[in-house]
Structure 1
């Protein structure tokens, strides 16, 4: 992800389901979110946001990482890519969820490019000086939903995959609530007054697409070299629920 809280907003429910299914989960951000404050300087803001990221990850037994690149000034270059590859070498991911290649925030798009590039090359022996772990290979790769379900120009994202998070929506919001520093920032800078309820409402809206109470949407990368079967759909097949959205809205 690009910033602390991006994972919780875009795929927190899916991460909870993966942990419940026995997966080892790592949440990694390219930046520490050092621009996400109207009150504190960059070092203090980054410290606060790293701590929030760690707390949210620990809620589900996940591990938090950050590469420490500058928030809002992220670029796709050899340094940021090598940091991403090196992290992948230390983890050897078999499933990668990264950010959309077209989204309102350039940091998100560049993060998606980094996730895509590192996924394809990290298992090549000469790509990093980090040891090559057994089992390293080109992973399943998914892009998260665009903000509000749209791309950078406001066009609708067409998901390839939905994950039912009806039973995980409250846990997703609890994880997001760990990022308390962002409430005022998003209100003042992005014009989002209630980002917890906004996140819940979008999950409910995505659930309506597939007739469940709440869902998260993804686009699978099926390019040459990557696995083509839809692993998330195989792990979490959709089962339509009656009166779905009403039950979640009542709980909000």
Structure 2
């Protein structure tokens, strides 16, 4: 097993609550191994309310995201982009690179290339670019961190685990058993009360939590466990080739 000298995980997603839905169990297991955890979002979730104005709901959702991160002794970051307006352009790329310079991640978890919402797909591009570029000396005015190197990069499931263009189940290279931390994952997701309450009122049930559980059970059946999270590892040149998540967490792939 190739064990990194630094153990810093960055979950970089589009919106507050994306990481909690898609990879919080894996973050919890890494935390239990002593890893430092960072959760970052491109937006503050300013589109996440039918009643509150953008700036007000953005403030609420950033507080919720920070509260969730604190449950894992993690740090929350926000790039300050706007919901449904995330664009893979020079400004956003620079923000992402600067974030990666600040965090200096060993391992990055992010959205897949194809997902139901274009904000997710744009963040996929930002994360992939920043992971490749942040060690390059001349790409940022932020200091190049000591030991900066291209991190392990994994893509989470798309929402509902299906390709939005074909409807086919999303492929995965790695299944992480999160059964032992599912209650803590629920606690993290429940921090996002503004979204949970809206769906609870609309559906008449705790759909926010139950949808996450259903997907975890589906992937768990594939892994032979109660709950699992799925990832596709990026193995393009010159990214690390060994499946670090499986090696660390002892899961099936």
1:111 paired residue among 120, 123, 131: 123
Superposition map of 1:126-145 within 5 A: 126-145=138-157
Residue 192 of structure 1: CA displacement?
A: 9.0
Structure 2 length normalisation: TM-score? 0.91
* 1:150 correspondence with 2:172: no
2:106 paired residue among 94, 97, 104: 94
Partner of 2:50: 38
- Contact 2:196 2:208 (C-alpha < 8 Å) held by counterparts: yes
* 1:83 correspondence with 2:95: yes
Partner of 2:191: 178
Superposition map of 1:43-62 within 5 A: 43-62=55-74
- Contact 1:88 1:122 (C-alpha < 8 Å) held by counterparts: yes
Structure 1 length normalisation: TM-score? 0.91
SS of corresponding position for 1:159: coil
Residue 171 of structure 1: CA displacement?
A: 0.5
SS of corresponding position for 1:116: helix
1:218 paired residue among 231, 236, 243: 231
Distance 1:55 1:159 in 2: 30
SS of corresponding position for 2:175: strand
Partner of 1:13: 25
- Contact 2:108 2:154 (C-alpha < 8 Å) held by counterparts: yes
Deviations 1:30-79 (A, max 9, x none): 00010000110000010000000000000010000000100111111001
1:26 paired residue among 23, 26, 38: 38
SS of corresponding position for 1:181: helix
- Contact 1:36 1:185 (C-alpha < 8 Å) held by counterparts: no
Distance 1:139 1:167 in 2: 26
Deviations 1:115-165 (A, max 9, x none): 001000000000100001111010000000111111222221010001000
- Contact 1:53 1:178 (C-alpha < 8 Å) held by counterparts: yes
Worse-matched range after superposition: 177-186 or 136-145: 177-186
Q: CA RMSD in A?
A: 1.7
- Contact 2:174 2:251 (C-alpha < 8 Å) held by counterparts: no
